[in-house]
Amino acid sequence: MTSTTQYLSVLHRLRPTASLQRFLITAFTCLSAIACDSAPTSETSSGPKIVTTFLPVHLFTKAVVGDTGQVDILISPGKEVHDYQATPEDAKLLAQADILVENGLGMEAFLSDLVANAGNSELQQIDSSKGIEAMDGEHGHDEHGHDEHKHDEHKHDEHKHDEHKHDEHGHDEHGHDEHGHGHHHPEGNPHVWLDPVLAQQQVANIRDRLIEIDPDNADSYRSNAEAYIQQLQQLDSEFKEKLAPVQGCNFITFHDAFGHLAQRYGLQQEAIVHIPEDSITPQDIQRVQQLAKQHSVKALFTEPGIEDKRIEQISSDLNLSLEAINPLESGETDPQYYFQVMRSNLEALSRACQNN
Ligand SMILES: [Zn+2]
């Protein structure tokens, strides 16, 4: 457990005391009133126990939940997300949870086995990317739109175990092979949270399912979600405005995370590797160099925490400046952290595309 989640747990343990105080105050007031037409609300203590899978979906869920419930995170920031192996503690956490929120689109390949192991028949699942047609993972083109749509129709909640069994084994046993250049996320590139427009849909999905599951707190979920969606709309406007002058800018990232963002704002992303665990092969370097020759590549980006001499080598070979952009797979757990990182990503993209 990270210090942040420990801190959160402490906060949540304190809540029943606060609501007990409110209850006593309300009860006392009612004694002297002629009629008490509303029962004391205890929305903070009655809120659901929610577990999210990893950072972006954690930020979005916390933004919607606010003070209403407890929100924990399965993959604590700093742990690798793409090839995550669930632990017995994760199963314990899910066994005690009311709601599980996932990014979806195949990002959390470990999840269906974990949910089965947790044995919590009451657990409600929220797929935050429900209805989003993700682009193909490879190079930002959308050839596989129809396949993904088909998959969406058999959506997650009810049929999860059967439907995803095949994926699970693929990832667990053959993770690296699967993620080679012939990689496929059968459901499309899952990095939808990096597109401020798709992020709005994720927040709305989380809101709608929370309202279904916990209608008592609907008003709070609605107003929290609205505030966060407004911020995402503002962010989208800033991206549009800042990236308009660099339309068509072709950039290379370390891992294949920014395709949705690129497509949204008229840029082109190529990636050195598919997922961060992949090691950079001579073929990757050759492919990137060819791409740089074919297209006019403007920028090369690494990621925070990735130090690989081969990226520096590519940068100097291609005479491209090297900056970092952050795929938000790790970081701080305050919902506002999303905007901080996305604005700094925007600055880096805009600067690199203009300067080269
Ligand atoms: Zn990723």
Q: Where are the domains of the chain?
A: 43-129+155-167+183-230
Predicted confidence (pLDDT) at residue 157 exceeds the cutoff of 60: no
CA angle 36, 39, 41 (to 5 degrees): 140
- Give CA–CA dist 250/140, Å, rounded: 11
Predicted confidence (pLDDT) at residue 45 exceeds the cutoff of 50: no
Report the separation in Å between the CA atom of 183 and the middle of ligand 1, taken as the mean of its atom positions.
13
Report the separation in Å between the CA atom of 171 and the middle of ligand 1, taken as the mean of its atom positions.
14
Q: Kindly report whether the global pTM for this prediction surpasses the value 0.85.
A: no
Residue 215 DSSP one-character state: G
Report the separation in Å between the CA atom of 256 and the middle of ligand 1, taken as the mean of its atom positions.
6
Report the separation in Å between the CA atom of 278 and the middle of ligand 1, taken as the mean of its atom positions.
11
Residue 42 CA: distances (Å) to CA of 67, 232, 273: 12, 30, 49
How confident is the model at residue 171, as a pLDDT?
A: 38
pLDDT band per the 50, 70, 90 thresholds, residue 336: very high
Region of 123 on the Ramachandran plot (φ > 0 left; ψ -120 to 50 alpha; else beta): beta
Given a contact cutoff of 8 angstroms between Cβ atoms, the answer to whether 122 and 49 are in contact is no
> Strand order in 124-127's β-sheet?
70-73, 49-52, 99-102, 124-127
Predicted confidence (pLDDT) at residue 24 exceeds the cutoff of 80: no
Report the separation in Å between the CA atom of 275 and the middle of ligand 1, taken as the mean of its atom positions.
6
Does domain 43-129+155-167+183-230 correspond to CATH entry 1.10.40.30?
no
Predicted confidence (pLDDT) at residue 241 exceeds the cutoff of 50: yes
Report the separation in Å between the CA atom of 295 and the middle of ligand 1, taken as the mean of its atom positions.
24
